[in-house]
Chain A
Amino acid sequence: MRGYLVRRSLQAVVVLWAAFTVSFVVLYLLPGDSLSIKLGGLEGTATQEQIDAVRGAHGLDDPVHVQYVRALGDALTGDLGTSAQTGAPVARTIVDALPQTLALTGVAMLLAVFGGAGVALAATFTRLRALRQVLLSLPAIGISMPGFWVGLLLVQVVSFQWGLLPAMGNEGWESLVLPALTLALPAGAMIAQVLAKSMTTALAEPYVETARAKGAGRVRIHLRHALRNASLPALTLAAVVSGNVLVESVVVETVFSRAGIGRLTAAAVDTQDVAVVQGVVLLAALVFVVVALAVDLLYPVLDPRVGRTV
């Protein structure tokens, strides 16, 4: 087990390094740079000498490999640099924005997992064919609705028309409801779809027959026997989905005017704020690595057969 963890940690380091390097190269290849943006584009009145002076001071005129080694070295010592736009340290900028996004994505994932699993279980449990059809078609609808559209619709109806919840901001749980729902909808729909499918498969397995022959009740067969096996693919998916939720927060935080990692990312990409974008990329890579590891460690708990191969 320890060897496994060491191996996984080494893999994680490689993933983080690769994410850092690829994002550095992509951002370097883009034309222009962040400081030119800050000094004003076509409408700016900065002279070329002023622009050159700032570029020089920020080391933007150094050869690319020098810039890369410097950035990587700084990142290794925990210094993610400063934002070219605001001048604030990137690490602090991210730490300031992170709680808002964690709250949002956390609530969204809870809604997605419980809502998605609820729909899937209800669909496989019910004996009413019509209800089952309706429930099984819900995920497809949920997945096919684009996030920004759902968000704008919720804002228009729930906030502007009914006046029930605020349309913007980060204050209080009220401001969390609509954006979390918007995020949870596609995520929950994916979980529901996969879980319903694997539940259907599991319920046709011989061990379910055995359990039924032993006189186990329907609830027990569903939750105790079938769900445990059927949850493995759904769990894998939930890990992927939790990464997607982070990505979707870019759109949702913009629509709902929330501060957070998503807005930070959108603004940083707009202004080619390399240090901030790289900080966010590292964060996203870290989240993926940690979630994937957590899921891998959960497998043996759910299915002892998986444990033997570790």
Chain B
Amino acid sequence: MRFSVFAASSPPRRLRRTAGTGAAMAALALLAGACNGAGDTAANSAEVGPPRSGGTLTFALAADPTCLDPQQFGANASLNVGRQIVDSLTDQDGRTGEIKPWLATSWEVDPQATRFTFHLRPGVTFADGAPLDGAAVKANLDGVVALGAKATIAGSYLTGYRGTTVLDPTTVRVEFAAPSAQFLQATSTMSLGLLSPATLAKTAEQRCQGDLVGSGPFTLRSYKPNQSVELAKRSGYAWGSSLFAHPGEAYLDRLLFKIVPESGVRAGSLESAQVDAISDVQPQDEGRFASGYTVLTRPNPGVVFNLQANVSRPILAEEAVRQAIQKAVNRPELAQTVLTPKYRPATSPLASVTPGWVDLSAQLGHDPEGAKRLLDEAGWKVGSDGVRVKDGRRLSVDVIFAPLFNASQSVLELVQQELRKVGVDLRLRKLAPGEQNQVQAAGDYDFAYYNVTRSDPDILRTLFSTKTVNRLKIASGELDTVLDDQAQSLDPAQRNAKVAQAQRIVAERAYVIPLFELSQVHGLGPRVHGLGFEASSRLQFHDTWVSS
């Protein structure tokens, strides 16, 4: 169903060089994607004149944030809101992965990556007037540890946290019991964003429901569950990140998030200018915004959507089987057929925008003949129904998945067809959201399908080290050593070499079958300018403005 669009009748400027003509929708989607594939779309800054202060931007979110506290909750909707309320010690450049000053003007790290000393910018205050000093930083980090399981993401960044020492009002030293190179990047995330001491004194539940005061460019005015979140500009804001395009206060007076769960209604609301921008444009709606709109997209850094093997299971314990499955998957086909060109085929266990990513596409090529050869050599013979058999056991494995990302089912069905061609039977097991932890803890599955967003390669250690979650259920060995080594070094060259090695081990031993990179896809109307992504592909509204 497609109706005429008055809002887009005079497209102001082509934001990126997308197709300009009204060709068929599918063709447009393809073309637009082909040109936009470059990732970071630092939106539309150098157009329609100089930025203008003032005005309200209305943004339709696909999901209710449920809990607004960025230290506690990890859902995209929460983080997209939370990022605007809190500042961080550092900021991360999404293009290079480098860590840049924000509230900390400089820092030192000892050679073992266990002691981090931050020098804070003086004169910063929270919106309630409390000073943002060393004591506040200490209270925040201690507070995250105290939240325990209520802050699993922020808590995982502080694994091995020994304590914070306030050396003077603008200097703090954070110490870890073991090397933790990832901590520097972690200080740039909203999960370790800083909240006012008064907020930290509230209960976790009060904070979730919006009793939140930060030092960020926006302050929280109201949160109506399932309805809206309203933010207002923080006047006097003068401590923006060194990566922001302009110093001082945000341009927008007011930022209104409306919660619109239906994707078709979100798309229609943008077309009829009832909202200025929308989150989570679904693949089927992308074509509607090919001209006159900006489709803002960036892959999520971290571990790509993948089939992660449970190596403790008899069939997947066999490396040849895993490697055959690695070869049987046709990644470009996934992106081209069931997804849109906004989603890139995986080229490594890490997404291409993750610092330390290496391109392993040569090793992850589509090679069904090679897959068959491997299985033949391992003694798996094609049975009567086309599925291979060895010692009376069928080559049949299952994959557990949760339908969080809409296209997951179709992606897995396509993988299922491809594996079938080389004689591997893949059974899809869709789990209810509450079931996943139990099944995973019990280890009652062959493959698990998921992705994890994190703009630091240490996510590999979090998931796969035998000392942490050990999702692969492997014995400790080479991978552990490499993952520990990368955690000890902040020198990019040294660390990246180890990270590359870890990616190679995970891909070559086929512990993980990478599939595709999740992308954030937002639709922006013609009024919206200067909206961009921060390093973890969440939105940053400080430089955003609306034309009248």
Contact = CB atoms under 8 A, between A and B. Distances in A.
B209 A87 contact: yes
B205 A50 contact: no
Contacts of A167: 265, 268-269, 272, 274
A270 B60 CA distance: 21
Interface residues of B, number: 63
Interface in B424-443: 431-438, 440-441
Contacts of B6: 163
B227 A259 contact: yes
Interface stretch (B253-261, B490-498, B524-532): B253-261
A47 B468 contact: yes
B150 interface: yes
Interface centre among B1, B66, B448 (most CB of A within 10 A): B66
B38 interface: no
A82 interface: yes
B434 A161 contact: no
A160 B271 contact: yes
A162 to B, nearest CB: 9
A271 to B, nearest CB: 7
Contact of B227 (A39, A53, A169, A271): A169
B226 A272 contact: no
Contacts of A39: 149, 152, 437
Contacts of B453: 43
Nearest to A42: B450
A69 B139 CA distance: 40
Contact of B438 (A36, A45, A86, A170): A36
A71 B261 CA distance: 31
Contacts of A166: 274
A161 B452 CA distance: 39
Nearest to A260: B226
A259 B258 contact: no
B379 interface: no
Contacts of B156: 45-46
Given A32-B432, A39-B437, A43-B451, A254 B261 contact: yes
Contacts of A30: 432, 434
Given A40-B74, A41-B402, A168-B274, A47 B265 contact: no
A48 interface: yes
A200 interface: no
B432 A53 contact: no
Contacts of B74: 40, 44
Given A45-B152, A271-B433, A155 B265 contact: yes
A41 B208 contact: no
B205 A36 contact: no
B3 A160 contact: yes
Given A41-B402, A46-B149, A257-B262, A32 B66 contact: no
Given A44-B437, A50-B149, A168-B265, A87 B258 contact: no
B434 A53 contact: no
Nearest to A50: B149
B98 to A, nearest CB: 24
Interface in B52-95: 60, 64, 66-67, 74
B378 interface: no
Nearest to A170: B227
A32 B149 contact: no
Given A82-B205, A166-B274, A167-B265, A36 B436 contact: yes
A278 interface: no
Contact of B226 (A51, A152, A263, A271): A263
Contacts of B264: 152
A19 B388 CA distance: 51
A30 B274 CA distance: 40
A267 B67 CA distance: 13
B178 interface: no
B424 to A, nearest CB: 21
A87 B271 CA distance: 36
Contacts of A267: 64, 66, 226
A87 B204 contact: yes
A45 B153 CA distance: 7
Q: Identify whether the interface residues of B are mostly helix, strand, loop, or mixed.
A: mixed
B449 interface: yes
The range of chain A's interface size is: 35 or more
B160 interface: no
A264 B434 CA distance: 18
Contacts of B66: 85-86, 267
Contacts of A46: 149, 152, 156, 437
A37 interface: yes
Given A161-B4, A167-B265, A254-B261, A41 B149 contact: no
Given A31-B435, A43-B451, A86-B67, A156 B1 contact: yes
Nearest to B259: A257
Interface string B184-212: 00000000000000000001111011000
Contacts of A88: 205, 208-209, 225
A166 B228 CA distance: 15
Contact of A41 (B205, B226, B433): B433
Contacts of A85: 66-67
Contacts of B262: 152, 254-255, 257
B245 interface: no
B437 A51 contact: yes
B113 interface: no
A3 B285 CA distance: 61
Contacts of B226: 97, 259-260, 263-264, 267
Contact of A86 (B1, B209, B224, B260): B209
Interface string A75-89: 000000010011110
Interface centre among B203, B272, B451 (most CB of A within 10 A): B272
B11 interface: no
A249 interface: no
B265 A36 contact: no
Nearest to B73: A38
B225 A37 contact: no
Interface of A: 30-34, 36-37, 39-48, 50-51, 53-54, 82, 85-88, 93, 96-97, 152, 155-157, 159-161, 163, 166-170, 254-260, 263-264, 267, 270-272
16 contacts: A31-B434, A32-B437, A41-B433, A43-B450, A45-B469, A47-B469, A51-B149, A87-B204, A88-B205, A93-B225, A160-B272, A161-B3, A167-B265, A168-B269, A260-B226, A271-B434
Interface of B: 1, 3-4, 6, 60, 64, 66-67, 74, 148-150, 152-153, 155-156, 203-206, 208-209, 224-228, 258-262, 264-265, 268-269, 271-272, 274, 400-402, 404, 431-438, 440-441, 448-453, 462-463, 468-469
Given A93-B225, A160-B268, A257-B259, 4 more contacts: A33-B434, A85-B66, A155-B268, A167-B265
